[in-house]
Amino acid sequence: MISVAEAKHIISTNVTALKPVTVFLLQSRGKVLAEDIVAAIDIPAFPQSAMDGYAFAFDDLQKELRIEGEMAAGSSSVVEVAKGKAIRIFTGAPVPAGADTVVMQEKVRTENGILIIEDEKLQRNSNVRPIGSEIKAGELALPKGSLLTAAAIGFLAGIGVTTVLVIPDPGISIILTGNELQEPGKALSYGQVYESNSFSLTAALESLHLPVHKIYKVEDDADALTATLQEALNESDLVLLTGGVSVGDYDFVLQSANKCGVTQQFHKVKQRPGKPLFFGTKGEKLVFGLPGNPSSVLTCFYEYVTQALSLQTKRPLQLKEVQTVLAADCKKAPGLTHFQKAYYNGETVLPLTAQESYKLNSFATANCLLQLQGEKEEYQTGAPVTIHLLPV
């Protein structure tokens, strides 16, 4: 067996980013730019009013200004303001030639078509957005590696961008193994259990804004699992198998992975839960064999699969690490790293009951994983510890 740190190092050295693809801007939310975006034009492309008000030449401020005409947003008319004149203007409209200042409508009075300005703080160029004041043609708009948030997408749309080169979502398949699994909602026969791993994994991936390509259910048969794994590898960038990674008579994941040309990078980690964890690669495709117990599946997903997904997508998908202190005493087995379900209140962390790998009831109320490392077996209240916050 290898340590948790060694396992994570192996993942970091065997996972590369997916090949970039071009997508429409509205399809890029949450993805990472794979190239620099440079502005093609000045934005705004014309002097633009920042207010509803009146445009005029600042040098005419002390003169009697007669109001003539108006400019609305979207107007394509070429207008010039004569000396001693002002023009009604609206937010976003082009500031006409001859004008360099806009006074907001709340700071004026009008009498018989004459503009009376009541803004003692008004300065030249007030309320006028100069050409290229947001970005100039040829300037870097967003650098490669930027996360495309809602604001970033709006900014790119505002400078005329329609498509972007991004790191795509990986194609993800889930393979469920086990003759004992029954679909929720159907009656259980003796010896059966309800299948929950596909539900938890799909939900966990959706919380990261990553869809599942396909879910397979395979009986405990070596040939059937090999055929299914090969199909999943053909269609996916990442394959998650649940169950069948130990050394029992019906555990066929290692055998099938080998037959499919998957190179084993590690099998078994000094941890609880999830000791039989398997990680393999086939070219740039990744295979994780997750232990079948529900708590082990989710723990290994959050601790290892999210690391691989972060490397594939270049997005920050791993759990946030926080240093805190224990709210109660706890124990662990020597020599193993424990990932215990726990609740963090912002100040201290409380280990929960029901830590067994087959139980999800405590996981359902946990908001973090408490990581306990090394040979130490007992931890006292107030001891400093590391936790990994679970996504909502």
What architecture does CATH give domain 321-387? Beta Barrel (2.40)
> What percentage of the chain carries pLDDT values higher than 70?
99
Instruction: Give residue-wise pLDDT tens across range 126-171.
Output: 999 999 999 999 999 999 999 999 999 999 999 999 999 999 999 9
- On the question of pLDDT at 113 being above 90, the answer is yes
What are the helix (H) ranges across 109-221? 150-158, 197-207
The CATH superfamily label for domain 48-129 reads: Molybdopterin biosynthesis moea protein, domain 3. (2.170.190.11)
DSSP run (H or E) holding 131: none
Query: What is the β-pairing status of strands 193-194 and 181-182?
Result: parallel
Fold of the CATH domain 4-19+169-313: Molybdenum Cofactor Biosythetic Enzyme; Chain A (3.40.980)
Q: What does the pLDDT average to over 258-279?
A: 96
Q: CA dist 133 to 41, 42, 43, 137, 211, Å?
A: 12, 8, 7, 11, 40
111: helix, coil or strand?
strand
- Measured CA to CA, the distance from residue 204 to residue 390 in angstroms comes to 10
State mean pLDDT over 32-41. Answer: 98
Please say whether the structural domain 21-42+135-167 has been given the CATH code 3.40.50.12780.
Answer: no
Q: Which of 236, 87, 249, 255 is nearest to 174 (CA)?
A: 236
Residue 78: predicted pLDDT: 85
* C-alpha 364: how far from chain center: 22
pTM: 0.87
Residue spans per domain, the chain = 4-19+169-313, 21-42+135-167, 48-129, 321-387
Same fold, 48-129 and 321-387: no
CA–CA distance, 257 with 94 (Å, rounded to integer):
65
